[in-house]
Chains A and B, each alone.
Chain A
Amino acid sequence: MSTHASTAQPSYLVDTGARKGLMAWLTSTDHKRVGLLYLYSMVSFFFVGAGIGLVMRLVQLTTFQKLISAQTYNALFTLHGVIMIFLFVVPGLPAVFGNFFLPILIGAKDVAFPRLNLASWYFYMAGAILAILALFTGGGAPDTGWTFYAPFSLKTGTNISLAVFAAFILGFSSMLTAINFITTIHRLRAPGMTWFRMPLMSWALYSTAWIQLLATPILAITLVLVILERFFGIGIFDPAKGGDPLLYQHLFWIYSHPAVYIMILPAMGAISEIIPTFARRTIFGYKAIAFSSMSIAGVGSLVWAHHMFTSGLSGLALMTFSLLTMIVAVPSAIKVFNWVSTLYKGSIDFQPPLFFALSFIFLFCIGGLTGVMQGALAINVHIHDTYFIVGHFHYVMFGGTGFAFFAALLYWFPKMFGKMYSKKAIYASWYPMFIGFNMLYFGMLILGMMGMPRRYYVHLPQYHSLHVVATVGSWLLVLGLLIFFGTLLYAIFKGPKAEDNPWGGVTLEWTIPSPPPLENFEEIPIVTHGPYHFEPQEGK
């Protein structure tokens, strides 16, 4: 399909309504503007979270312990988790790229419920503001860790109630987005856009939305129970009143384990878009990737108790959950093999988005394989609650979702803003980011194997040298992030104009102008073939 400049419609970035400037953005129900609202707020919170992470690393240099008390350290890791999980990685790709590109990818003008979409951003911001308020009000900043484990979360004097209420509101935002996406995919696909002609990002968003829909309410009720317990002492998690704190762990992980698939599936979807575009050939195993998303959503909902291997479950339960945990690695591996096979004999055009996508595959493999290690019961007992899990989690969530987020941002940035960034500066940001990342988190994996427990304020002398390596790594990582986002910010204001299709992509978003016009398409396209239909080239 050829690109055709839009003359009839202005770009979505131009205010056309009665309101101008900031108010036009805050009241816009355009899915593209809502996506950008999410992008700006999310990246801001990401830097707050990263800053807290940096401070925590400084504490481990021990010289800074005069400035930060142990109680503050507890609040810092709680806050780091709450911000990064609930405000960055869970909404992450769906809220930004899902909102912006899902309707375009399937050939629609907007999502099914545009006003609900804007409302979900307001819920998100309300939750974020409440979470921040929780720091400064009540009995002080929450100190339970982001998991809010009972019974400590029921007994601590810090401001847990407000913090969990914030998470409850954020969950609401997440569910509304999910309802919107599922309905959009069912109802608004363009003529000819059959299920198996949808780009894989849509499949990933669809699976993610189902997990959000089915898992988030469990978190909501669990958090409600924590609040009720704190205000009224209903006793469901309190052993003195016949309750059971282990029930909290089950309910919490019934949501929070599937939640890690909420975080990673859309990332995988974005990678599945990027790889065919730069390999100039159709994706290998389209259906395998689509169905592996759905099976991750299914099996991933049945593995939650692998977070609780040391909490005294029965042997049968342990083995069942261990087996299921290992099974869930299969669909993830299917995806990785398919991506690599797509590259094979492709005519690879090496560009920054592909570079970050390949980094994603590398880091995600380390994260995934260390995950399988922990699924093994005998190893798990040894490394439970050590830095190993912290390292593993960051490899999956930051090396996985984070790098995929960066890759997706690089891939779609020219389309979203109509500007091109400096590729050299992006490459320059990759080196400190990648090297720093591995120093920091591989250091943590080794520390964990050596026995360094997580969430500790102090450490024994034998761990010190690796802590220094990890802390220096965190400086490099933050330096890389600053260069990365600085480059993009510069490009928004001063970057050269981007072409409509800078990467030679063939999905629908590349057939419309950059930035997209108000209603995306001049007329709704009619789809006649699969999503990655490249013209045959020489040598194939």
Chain B
Amino acid sequence: MTEHVHRDDFGSRLGMWLFLVTEMVLFGGLFIGYSYMRYRYPAEFHHAGGELNATLGIINTLVLLTSSLTVVLAIVAVQRSEKKRAMALLGSTLALGLVFLVIKSFEWAAKFHHGLYPNSPHLATLPPGEQVFYGLYFTMTGLHGLHVIAGLSLLGVMLWWVATDRIRQDRYIHLENSGLYWHLVDVIWIFLLPLFYLAA
């Protein structure tokens, strides 16, 4: 088949935004569940939220926000044909994303260490509201973590494409769209932080 040589950057961006809408609604379902459960068990959510490590949560927020900034700067660098700088900035985004995941895994490990994981015997002794809190916590931060991994993989490919000049000054829509995805991951985390870590 003859490939259509057809390029519409605005259309690609529109498609990406529509995809981001579906992602937001995906998390939206969980936010509905969260609001309902929080309305039902306000005291338990308050108590369980105090058990989470807010300092780590805030550090992670700063890490993610910075990584979003470096993506934007990488796009600017590509626009200015500064290939090396773009690669360095994308590299730091990847590094920051990994830092986020490492901190997250320490947090989860600490919870597991205290016997707090889905379906654990210790969890079963807690009041129902706290069990649901942890159920939501692991589901929502876990799903968010998967999105971080997806975003990092995407940005990894982008880094490779910048290196091989598939992304350059006159053609950077893929990088732009990956950046949009990374911002979404960031935005969702900004909602998760107060809902879980600052719930106390």
Contact = CB atoms under 8 A, between A and B. Distances in A.
A225 B26 CA distance: 11
6 smallest A-B Cβ distances: which pairs? A242-B128, A233-B119, A221-B29, A217-B26, A217-B25, A234-B135
Which of the listed residues B23, B37, B130 has the most CB atoms from chain A within 10 Å of its own CB?
B37
A221 B11 contact: no
Contacts of A180: 15
B159 interface: no
Which of the listed residues A17, A116, A187, A222 has the most CB atoms from chain B within 10 Å of its own CB?
A187
B118 interface: yes
Nearest to A228: B139
Given A251-B29, A251-B32, A241 B11 contact: no
Interface string A22-53: 00100111100000000000000000000000
Given A213-B21, A232-B119, A243 B1 contact: no
B9 to A, nearest CB: 10
B191 interface: no
Interface of B: 1-4, 6, 8, 10-11, 14-15, 18-19, 21-23, 25-30, 32-33, 36-37, 40-41, 44, 118-119, 124, 127-132, 135-136, 138-139, 143
Contact of A175 (B1, B2, B14, B22): B22
Contact of A242 (B6, B14, B29, B132): B132
A216 B22 contact: yes
Nearest to A251: B29
Which of the listed residues A215, A220, A233 has the most CB atoms from chain B within 10 Å of its own CB?
A233
A236 interface: yes
A234 B130 CA distance: 12
A393 interface: no
Given A217-B23, A244-B40, 18 more contacts: A28-B1, A112-B11, A179-B19, A183-B14, A187-B11, A213-B21, A213-B25, A217-B25, A218-B25, A220-B29, A232-B118, A234-B118, A236-B33, A241-B135, A243-B132, A244-B37, A250-B32, A251-B32
A113 interface: yes
A254 B139 CA distance: 20
25 contacts: A16-B1, A28-B1, A30-B1, A178-B18, A179-B18, A183-B18, A186-B11, A188-B11, A215-B25, A217-B25, A217-B28, A222-B29, A225-B139, A233-B119, A235-B132, A236-B135, A241-B128, A241-B131, A242-B128, A242-B129, A242-B131, A242-B135, A243-B135, A244-B36, A247-B36
B41 to A, nearest CB: 7
A330 interface: no
Interface in A456-501: none
A364 B112 CA distance: 55
Nearest to A225: B139
A5 interface: no
Nearest to A18: B1
A71 B3 CA distance: 51
B35 to A, nearest CB: 11
B179 to A, nearest CB: 18
A373 interface: no
A114 interface: yes
Contacts of B14: 182-183, 186-187
A224 interface: yes
Contact of A236 (B11, B27, B132): B132
B15 A17 contact: no
A221 B26 contact: yes
A214 B25 contact: yes
A302 to B, nearest CB: 14
A109 interface: yes
Nearest to B44: A242
A183 B136 CA distance: 34
Nearest to A518: B2
Which of the listed residues B6, B25, B36, B124 has the most CB atoms from chain A within 10 Å of its own CB?
B25
B187 to A, nearest CB: 16
A110 interface: yes
Interface of A: 16-17, 24, 27-30, 109-110, 112-114, 116, 175, 178-180, 182-183, 186-188, 213-218, 220-222, 224-225, 228, 232-236, 240-244, 247, 250-251, 254, 518-519
Nearest to A240: B128
A65 B37 CA distance: 45
Contact of A183 (B11, B36, B132): B11
Nearest to A214: B25
Contacts of A183: 11, 14-15, 18
B78 to A, nearest CB: 23
Contacts of A175: 19, 22
Contact of B22 (A112, A213, A235, A242): A213
A17 B23 CA distance: 37
Nearest to A116: B15
A182 B8 CA distance: 14
Contacts of A225: 33, 139
B33 A233 contact: no
A24 B37 CA distance: 52
Contacts of A110: 4, 6
A222 B129 CA distance: 20
A519 B2 CA distance: 10
Contacts of A247: 33, 36
Nearest to A30: B1
B1 A179 contact: no
Nearest to A175: B22
A213 B119 contact: no
A464 B124 CA distance: 50
A112 B8 contact: yes
Nearest to B36: A247
B21 A214 contact: yes
A29 B1 contact: yes
B126 to A, nearest CB: 9
Contacts of A232: 118-119, 138
A283 to B, nearest CB: 29
Nearest to B26: A217
A30 B4 CA distance: 10
A251 B132 contact: no
A110 B40 CA distance: 50
A16 B18 contact: no
Which of the listed residues B3, B21, B124 has the most CB atoms from chain A within 10 Å of its own CB?
B21
A245 to B, nearest CB: 12
B64 to A, nearest CB: 22
A234 B138 contact: yes
B1 A24 contact: yes
Contacts of B28: 217-218
A109 to B, nearest CB: 6
Which of the listed residues A28, A220, A224, A241 has the most CB atoms from chain B within 10 Å of its own CB?
A241
